Structures are given as structure tokens and as C-alpha cells.
Structure 1
């Protein structure tokens, strides 16, 4: 369901998208440096909810992004994993959607599969996106209509069309659990996990992997930047029912995520759609 946000009037905005591009690049790189200053150190951590960790690093990056972006762009809205949500964002034509550290568990464990996610959403669609994985030295960036890059070089999704030979980003045990899938996944399909959902999607955008399926709900901040990056790289990102994602709704949540190069979408949906139907039946 759409919200009541007014269409954005660029003619009355003092900042162009080109201005916002420069700002997003600068603050995302600086946010990465701040995160690295806490990385692999003994820092304060706690659980926001059971099995949902957060740390002083998350909060420091969030504070930097919020302060810098909002002070430089008065009138823009704000939505972040680590900031209390306010309904006034629903009236904003332009909105920052941020995950200060996507993949906190990996960050705390000293892994490399985490990063900073920053998106500018206009009229409920991302128009500028950055995802920076500092330990991997991978800076992904996209602007609507201008393609996607990694460290300044153009990226595109793979042309894989055979699910048997596909490289799937996701929990290997989930795809091997045949009782969960009325139509099973090929045993020969390679599966590999990464803590950050945004990183998983970006690694499909640059062709390292071919697809990603998660039937666990994801929030706007998890996928807003990745949505534009994979789209500009020629891929697709939808819900498990094949619908495109709409951002800045009252409930900023997406029930499931399917990301893929285009040629694999039919084979993936042949497995996802009956699984969702079965799970809905069991739940009922």
C-alpha cells in the first residue's frame, strides 16, 4: 500500500541529484573509516532484542550519518535501523534510508562480510545508492539511469541461465532442506552465506554470484541501496511473489527477497512460489 508522501518537486529543491551524489559518496566513505576504527577491537555490545546484537560502532556510524546528512539536507526524511522511526518521514518526497552497519554479527566476529548502506529514496524509489564493505575494499555505487559501479568500474550481473550451475547467496542448509521446498533446488547448485543481505545482493550485481533467496522479512534499510545497485547492473530484486519493492511505507518491511540475474528468475520462482503457498497453508 502506498503512503501519502507528496510527489517530489525538483524545481523547488535547492539541491540537485548531482549534489546528493557527491554528498553520498563522501559520507559513506567517511562512515567506513569510522566503522574500521572500532573493528577488531573490544567494544561495547548488547542485544536490542533476542539474538539481535548492536554495538557502539553501529551507534557511532549512525550518529555520524544522521548528523551529516540531515544537517546538509534540511527537509529530507530519515529512516535508519538504529534510530527511532518517526511518521513524519511519510510526508517527505526525498528520504535517507541507512543501515550504519549491515552485518553486525560479522563485524563483531572480525569477518569481512559487513558494510555501510546509504540510499536516497525519492517518491518511494531509490535514486542514489552506496554500499561500502571496507574490509573487502569494495565500494558499490549507483545512480538511477546511470549504471552501477564497484570501486569506480562498471559492473553487471552474470548471464547464467542454468540453475544447476548457479551460485546462490544464502544459507546452504536452507536450500538442502527438501521438506521446505515442494520443488527442490538442484544438488549441484553452489550455495554460500554472507551475513549482510546488502552485500549478498551487491555480489550478484557484480557477477560474483548469480542469485539470492531469503524468505525471512527484510526492512527498508537492509535492501534500499542494494535494490538500486542490482537494478542498475541489469538484475532484478523482488519479493517472493515477484513484486517490485516500494520504500518509505508506514511499515517499512518486505516479506521476502529474491535477487537474481534475469535468466534465472523463472527457475527460481518455480521453487519459491510453491514453497510460499505451502507455508501459507501450514500457517493457516
Structure 2
């Protein structure tokens, strides 16, 4: 449940939603330009932990976003993949949640499946969100209650309801594993991978794909922006147990992610729930 000390009072805030929307759009676009200045070059990179790369591009984008957003919004909190977490954010009614480059592996191999993710969270839910994939020339934006756009055009989920015809964003090999999935996925289901989890979810929001399932934990910065973009496009994003996501908790981690157009939820959960039950049994 909420760990924030109090709910945000919009009446006492000097910046309204329109101000914040303009800011989040402009800084995300500029962050994309900064990232591209390092792209397809000899960019210095290292591992933060085993198989968890970070690059000088990540750090440059993070520094720009943190400096610009925090200087322009005194009193807002900050949570980013590339910045040390501080408990002070838990007392903030509004919080910037940032992944400076979501999909660093793709960025380093000169792929196009990466982007900049920026969300403004209020009272544990995203109210503004931007995700920019510069190489794809795809800028996603959403405001709570006002729909989602891609490059300024309204977007919506596909409405697919037949899992045998669905387009799943995820590792094709993983969905064939009988060890992971007691209830198998349809062999006719198309599966395709993208490094950035936020991009996968945004491509469900614009109807390119229909669903995304990952049983690997994801952090707030991975999915906060994509959560709002998908929901405003008519889709649903939950944990594997069907719970909606809450952000700016003490531990900003979500155990698993299920994103889809509403018509596929039932068929997806018929496979996810047994998989989680089997995992819990093995763990016990």
C-alpha cells in the first residue's frame, strides 16, 4: 500500500498538468537527441552487475533528465535506473520515474529497439508519460484521461481476442518451454522479441502487437510510462496475479508483467496462473 506521507494537493502546486505535459515532451525529445549523439559510435560501456550493461550514453541522458526536470520542478521526487535511490522520494506526491535508455543492449549493438522512458507519477499512479524510440522515429505520449498518441496521432489497441492469431512480444523460445508453461501456448501464436520492455508495451498500445508476458521482475522505471500509454490506448497492464501496478513504493519492483488488449486477458491468465503456481511449488 501507499508509503507516501500524504496525497498530492494540486491546488497548492505552482505547475498544472499542462505545464508538466509540455516539459515532459520537450525533455524526452532532447534526451533522444543526446542518446543519438552516442549511437553507432564507439560508446564506452561496462557491467553494473553480471549481464547488466550500462554505457556513457545512459549516464549522459540520465544527467540531462535529472538536472533539467529537478531544476524546473522543485519538490518533485526522482527515481531512475541510473541514479542512487533515496527514501525521500516516498514523501513526494509527484515523482519523475525515468529510464534514460530502456534497452541498453539493443543500443550498444546498434539496434532500433530501445528508447527513453519518462513518467510523472502522482499518488502512486502515472499521470503523464512519454516514451521515445529515436531510431524508429516513434514518440509515444499519454496523459491520464486524455488518451494516448504516437507522433501526435491517436492510437488504440488491436482488439484481438483470439490467442491462436495473437502477436506476442517476447522471446520465441521461452514460450515453447514446457518447463515454464504447464499450459502450452498456441503454436500458431506469433512471437517476436524487443530488448526494451517499454517499447514492447507501447507497440501493443498502437496495435502492432497484441500482448506481452514476462515472468521476470521489472522495476518502476521499466514500465511506469508504458503503463499509462497502454491503459490510455485501451489496454491492460497488471502483474501475473492480475493486480494493477502501484509506483513509488519502498521497493520499486514488480514480480511479473502481463500486458494485453482486453480480449486476450482470459486466455493469457489461463497460462500465466499455472506457471506461477508451478514456480511457487518448486520454490517451496
TM-score range for the pair, normalised by the shorter chain length: over 0.9
Number of the residue aligned with 2:207: 207
Q: How does 1:24-63 map to 2 (within 5 A)?
A: 24-63=24-63
- Pair 1:144-2:144 in alignment: yes
Q: How does 1:142-221 map to 2 (within 5 A)?
A: 142-221=142-221
- Pair 1:83-2:83 in alignment: yes
**Distance in structure 2 (CA, Å) of the matches to 1:159 and 1:219:** 27
Number of the residue aligned with 2:243: 243
CA drift of 1:61 comes to 0.1
CA drift of 1:4 comes to 2.8
Output the TM-score relative to the length of structure 1. 0.99
Tell me the alpha carbon deviations over residues 33-79 of structure 1, each in whole angstroms, 9 at most, x when there is no partner: 00000000001111000000000000000000000000000000000
| Runs (5+) with no aligned partner, structure 1 | none
CA drift of 1:29 comes to 0.2
Number of the residue aligned with 1:92: 92
Number of the residue aligned with 1:124: 124
Judge conservation of contact 1:2–1:249 (CA < 8 Å) in 2: yes
Tell me the alpha carbon deviations over residues 109-162 of structure 1, each in whole angstroms, 9 at most, x when there is no partner: 000000000000000000000000000000000000000000000000011110
CA drift of 1:178 comes to 1.8
Number of the residue aligned with 1:4: 4
Judge conservation of contact 2:4–2:92 (CA < 8 Å) in 1: no
CA drift of 1:231 comes to 0.2
Number of the residue aligned with 1:263: 263
**Distance in structure 1 (CA, Å) of the matches to 2:282 and 2:207:** 36
For these two proteins, the number of residue pairs brought into alignment is 284
Judge conservation of contact 1:5–1:123 (CA < 8 Å) in 2: no
**Distance in structure 2 (CA, Å) of the matches to 1:178 and 1:17:** 47
CA drift of 1:180 comes to 1.5
The 10-residue stretch of structure 1 (179-188 or 94-103) with the greater mean CA deviation from structure 2: 179-188
CA drift of 1:2 comes to 2.2
**Distance in structure 1 (CA, Å) of the matches to 2:119 and 2:14:** 19
CA drift of 1:16 comes to 0.1
**Distance in structure 1 (CA, Å) of the matches to 2:50 and 2:105:** 13
